[in-house]
Amino acid sequence: MRFSELLDPGSESTGRLEGIAESQRRAGRLFPEVARGHGFKLLDRTRPMAALGSMTIIGVAAEWAVLDMELLDDLSATGRDWAREPVELIDVSGVEGSLHLEGMSPGCTRVAHTPIVIRLESGRVVQTEAGKRARDYLRSAFLPAV
């Protein structure tokens, strides 16, 4: 399943709004399974910041951000072995995900736009980006130049 398919309301509901709400709940439930299926690691929220080492955290809104899901489709299509990359995903759709990122370190600010990129070196935040800037960073860092 592609990430972008997570938000397809399909025909499982009788009304448009009910279909959208159900597709959002479904996306939240299935996101971890789909991410692992594409070889991505999920951020372990119980690890202390210092234990994370050097890595890139990508925060997406799996329950409502189609652009985030399309970006993950693009990243997964590169053929990279994401299980070996120092990259981990986190779903920030809910309050819990947003608060977790904000509480990780003084360098992590309020989640206002997705996707979110947090780059760590030796467990310290060295870069944070959100929205278009995060999307641009991810494209330049992980997608082949066209």
Segment 106-116 shows an average pLDDT of 72
pLDDT at residue 14, as a whole number: 47
What total number of domains does the chain contain? 1
> Long-range contacts made by residues 120-123, C-beta under 8 angstroms, separation at least 24?
120/49, 120/52, 120/53, 120/54, 120/55, 120/56, 120/57, 121/54, 122/50, 122/53, 122/54, 123/48, 123/49, 123/50, 123/51, 123/52, 123/53
45 vs 98, residue with greater confidence:
45
The residue segments making up the domain with residue 64 are 3-142
Q: Which of 17-21, 72-76, 123-127 has the highest mean pLDDT?
A: 72-76
Reported as a single tens digit per residue, the pLDDT across 32-44 is: 999 999 999 999 8
Say yes or no to pLDDT of 131 above 50: yes
Whether 105 has a pLDDT exceeding 70, the answer reads no
pLDDT at 110: 62
In this prediction, residue 13 carries a pLDDT of 46
Question: CA 8 to CA 66: how far, in whole Å?
Answer: 9
9 has pLDDT over 70: no
State the CATH number of the domain containing residue 46: 3.40.30.10
Per cent of the chain over pLDDT 70 is: 81
Report pLDDT digits (tens) over 54-99.
999 999 999 999 999 999 999 999 999 999 999 999 998 876 555 5
The model's pTM is 0.86
